[in-house]
Amino acid sequence: GGHSSSPLAHQLSMPNTSSEMAAMENFLHFSDSVPMKIRAKRGCATHPRSIAERVRRTKISERMRKLQDLVPNMDKQTNTADMLDLAVDYIKDLQKQAE
């Protein structure tokens, strides 16, 4: 016999991309589910929570700007999720080229 292509082995080699996608989905979902209630409570802008929020947002937008410099056809109008999509596509393209 010597059939090495068992269905299990085939299944194990496949999920690479789909698990990658799942991880990305989780990541995007997580970044979307960041509480927005903080911004609604106007008036206490000096609240530690809102300061931390602002710092976090600033850090993110700074990193996004760095990403914009690295990834072609990414402009300021693109929202964060779309930018990440573009970045992922671009990285995958680079990986293909590197092979």
Q: Give per-residue pLDDT as tens, 48-57.
A: 888 899 999 9
pLDDT recorded at residue 14: 47
Instruction: Kindly report, residue by residue over 67-84, the tens digit of the pLDDT.
Output: 989 888 887 777 888 889
| Candidate from 16-20, 80-84, 94-98 with smallest mean pLDDT | 16-20
The domain locations on the chain are 7-98
Tokens of 10: 């085939």
pLDDT(96) > 80: yes
Q: In angstroms, how far is the first alpha carbon of the chain from the final one?
A: 34
Q: What is the pTM of this model?
A: 0.46
Q: d(Cα 28, Cα 22) in Å, to the nearest integer?
A: 10
Percent of the chain at pLDDT exceeding 90: 24
pLDDT band (50, 70, 90) for residue 95 = very high
